[in-house]
Structure 1
């Protein structure tokens, strides 16, 4: 029987809980006038600074492992797309679309990690896509496709997250500190560049007029996201990709329940049914060949 490290599972649950509640921070900062792009840049800059102070010895690995550039880009795209989507979109809808991630992970795990594609993994893809169709379906709009910018950003963020997790698993020999530096600096750089571009175009306000009360909140989320990131890459590098996909779905429950309790989302019957399909999908990939970690 395959051994599943409990510490790795616990680390991923900490990560999913923090991210499942992150919508509260993004919306609070947005209400104070700090656009999610600037909020993401500031939060991840704080994370990166704290990590660099603690892990200076790991900086050299960034030069020896150019693959970490891919981690930085994938992580930056994941965090930026998700934070903007969760700030402006329906929380439950964004989370469900983001967590089509296991579908993309099946394909990527085959290409990058050489994990087997089985009948069960194909069933997982079919069930996950069926759940997405149910969530997105509105008779008056025709085809059940993402319609709004938050919808598309949620899907894009999920794709990038799948890339991030698979590449992290392939780089299991790189130190935790070097991987974390790449991920956090990627979020800082991409969000900053997009913020500058959109602000210069007049699409996003500059952060100069943000009240001082916003910055302690930025500091708090910097600490939380740093803890979340360290937990993520600890768990991802110690669990098979398919097991990681199952555990990470806990974020759907945390975000949906918190949004419902705080009045930020209304759960429709089709959201519940479609969400059940998406949550159930990863459990289909349970055969031994797919569950074994790749040696690649």
Structure 2
């Protein structure tokens, strides 16, 4: 492997590492009194301001390409769902359910892009769904349904991430800076709106309660996560542009390893045989989907 592909792989691995370990600072923020919705709002607002300062022209194309607002909404809901789920739920279950995303992509591409699924695609869909049933099924549950809010949020986040990828494909003709601003701005806008509505409904504590807390307890985590997410986005753009879709997907799957090892080691997850087997099926289905996409691209 030459130096440039190696750098691309390392860039993608860094992106996977950031997201695979993001659960820990998010839980530190939650312990300091900052609910995941407010934490997401703070982190992505700061990142959006930095990105706007670096690339102010990113906002200029929203009038010409109003579909960027749909990308903003999908990306924002992805971050809300994932961050909330990984903060309050079992990290391994959340990450595995989130990676059902290729299944959602298959169904969304059929609906939005008119791409009819092949027999192989339907077999991969079946494999992934069996994996999800194993992950969701516990000895206490009579039916393999989502157990609690984190499970539901993880599934919704994976769906929104698939929708984000569909919009990225449909908006590939737009400037990269506009797409980046839409994704980070969506994380900020949607988190702020959802946090305000959830606070008004009494679902989460009000932000004003943070006045009694020491800002030094949570500000470093907000700054660190904002910087980490910005760097991870740049590394994703660098790596994905230089490697095949299959290689990119394989490297990005290391997020499952980073999240699983770190959460089990720190006691934030319990790795059972059902989760391991079901997770393996979900990951395998995702890798097979990326391989099929690569073969179709090079055909």
Normalised by the size of structure 1, how large is the TM-score? 0.89
For 1:82 and 1:289, how far apart are their aligned partners in 2? Answer: 25
Shift of 1:66: 1.0
- SS state at 1:292 partner: helix
Once the two structures are superposed, residues 118-161 of structure 1 have per-residue CA deviations (whole angstroms, 9 ceiling, x without a partner) of 22222211111111111111244222111200000000000000
Q: 1:293 to 1:64 in 2, by over 3 A?
A: farther
Q: Which residue of 2 aligns with 1:158?
A: 158
Q: Which residue of 1 aligns with 2:94?
A: 94
Q: Which residue of 2 aligns with 1:273?
A: 277
Comparing 74-83 with 206-215, greater Cα deviation is found at 206-215
Comparing 216-225 with 116-125, greater Cα deviation is found at 116-125
For 2:71 and 2:237, how far apart are their aligned partners in 1? Answer: 11
Q: 1:61 to 1:236 in 2, by over 3 A?
A: farther
Normalised by the size of structure 2, how large is the TM-score? 0.88
Contact 1:285-1:291 within 8 A present in 2 as well: no
Q: Which residue of 1 aligns with 2:23?
A: 23
Q: Which residue of 1 aligns with 2:225?
A: 221
Shift of 1:241: 6.3
Once the two structures are superposed, residues 256-275 of structure 1 have per-residue CA deviations (whole angstroms, 9 ceiling, x without a partner) of 01111222112111111111
Q: 1:266 to 1:133 in 2, by over 3 A?
A: same
Q: State how many pairs are aligned.
A: 291
For 2:68 and 2:240, how far apart are their aligned partners in 1? Answer: 15
What 5-or-longer segments of structure 2 have no aligned partner?
Answer: none
> Does residue 212 in structure 1 map to residue 215 in structure 2?
yes
Q: Which residue of 2 aligns with 1:67?
A: 67
Q: 1:156 to 1:252 in 2, by over 3 A?
A: same
Q: 1:219 to 1:82 in 2, by over 3 A?
A: same
Q: Which residue of 1 aligns with 2:199?
A: 199
Q: 1:7 to 1:173 in 2, by over 3 A?
A: farther
Q: Within 5 Å, which residues of 2 pair with 1:27-106?
A: 27-106=27-106
Once the two structures are superposed, residues 162-186 of structure 1 have per-residue CA deviations (whole angstroms, 9 ceiling, x without a partner) of 1111211222222221111001111
Q: 1:14 to 1:234 in 2, by over 3 A?
A: same
